[in-house]
Amino acid sequence: MIIRQMRRKDIPGIQKVAEISWHDTYDGIIPISVQDRFLEQAYSNKSMKQRLKRSLMLVADAGVHLAGFANFSFINQDGESELGAIYLLPDYQGQKIGSQLLAKGIESLKSVKRIAVHVEKDNKKGFYFYQSKGFVVTDTFEEQFFDCKLQTIKMVLKI
């Protein structure tokens, strides 16, 4: 498995990983119609090209296809980056690929002091993954996500 920066040609692979992993992770948590609307908007070709320019996008390259990806914002003036996503295809979960993506993101964002991530409270896999990496809960809140309300947990990792 090679962890590397995203290239423009990776866009279709990232879109596929996002779709499969979202449907797997949020089945029974977020209605499929809401998931699909989000995916269409957040992972459109236009959005992906903007992410490529405006954020750190890392991919887990399995050779024939992408196994997953991570998306970090660039560091703000307070030394904080936001981890927008670590998504893996279900068959690749539990193989330390998410850990590799996180580690490469920290290494790439050389002067980062904190990384924040938002996790839906019923996303237990995500919550326990981040907790195992040293992220701690700093806030919980309700947010409107298209047609549904989500209970969101903010977690922060101090570097």
How many degrees, rounded to 5, is the angle at CA 31 between CA 14 and CA 132?
Answer: 60
Cα-Cα-Cα-Cα dihedral sign, residues 80, 18, 11, 104:
positive
pLDDT digits (tens, 9 = 90+) for 127-140: 999 999 999 999 99
What one-letter code names the amino acid at 152? T
Q: What's the domain range around 151?
A: 2-158
pTM: 0.92
Mean pLDDT of 14-40: 95
Cα 154 from chain centre: 13
Sheet hosting strand 66-73, strand order edge to edge: 2-5, 55-61, 66-73, 80-88, 114-120, 148-158, 136-145
- pLDDT exceeds 90 at position 7: yes
pLDDT digits (tens, 9 = 90+) for 48-67: 999 999 999 999 999 989 99
Q: Is 111 helix (H, G, I), strand (E, B) or coil?
A: coil
pLDDT at 70 (0 to 100): 98
pLDDT digits (tens, 9 = 90+) for 74-126: 999 899 999 999 999 999 999 999 999 999 999 999 899 999 999 999 999 99
pLDDT at 56 (0 to 100): 96
- Give the separation between CA 27 and CA 92, rounded to whole angstroms: 18
Strands 80-88, 114-120: pairing is: parallel
- Total domain count, the chain: 1
* CATH at 108: 3.40.630.30
pLDDT at 27 (0 to 100): 93
- Give the separation between CA 150 and CA 132, rounded to whole angstroms: 23
pLDDT at 99 (0 to 100): 97
Instruction: Identify the burial level of 97 via C-beta atoms within 10 angstroms of its C-beta, where 0-12 means exposed, 13-18 middle and 19 or more buried.
Output: buried
Query: Using 50, 70 and 90 to split pLDDT, how confident is the model at 147?
Result: confident
- Give the separation between CA 113 and CA 117, rounded to whole angstroms: 14
